[in-house]
Structure 1
């Protein structure tokens, strides 16, 4: 079962020291341990930390990249917020 993570919790993890979460297609990925390995450099991951990075991700990657790292980096899914 996948952990549900609120969008606000993702926003709170916007720097490496806090965990550096990003969202890709509703999946939440913890990138703090990956920033130094990222072939495109740490700068872009730090720029999208705490945000939905789907558009930027798909611009430079294909599905095989997501599959390759998903087991290692995915920590959950963004939970739906109640609408009042």
Structure 2
């Protein structure tokens, strides 16, 4: 899994229908298959779709959550030189 994306590419996936990608600490996650499982509800994931959600993520989660779900949801990272 060495895919790299620009923030503009991530922003094209801002809805469930388009894949619902988010950025957390410069890693890109595909959330469309996870929205119904998210304990905090689908609404918050849909609100941050296509954006850097690092601030919102760390407000409610810890490192354990990221490690647990990364293998399933991480699809790549933000390209060097193209970070937000």
Query: Is the radius of gyration larger for structure 1 or structure 2?
Result: 1
- Tell me the SS of whatever aligns to 1:75: strand
Q: Normalized against structure 2, the TM-score is what?
A: 0.94
Structure 2 equivalent of residue 51 of structure 1: 51
Q: Quick one: distance in 2 between partners of 1:2 and 1:63?
A: 21
Q: Aligned-pair distance for 1:80? A: 2.7
Q: Aligned-pair distance for 1:81? A: 4.0
Where does structure 2 lack aligned partners over 5 or more consecutive residues?
none
Where does structure 1 lack aligned partners over 5 or more consecutive residues?
none
Q: Normalized against structure 1, the TM-score is what?
A: 0.94
Alignment: residue pair count: 82
Q: Quick one: distance in 2 between partners of 1:43 and 1:11?
A: 17
- Tell me the SS of whatever aligns to 1:10: helix
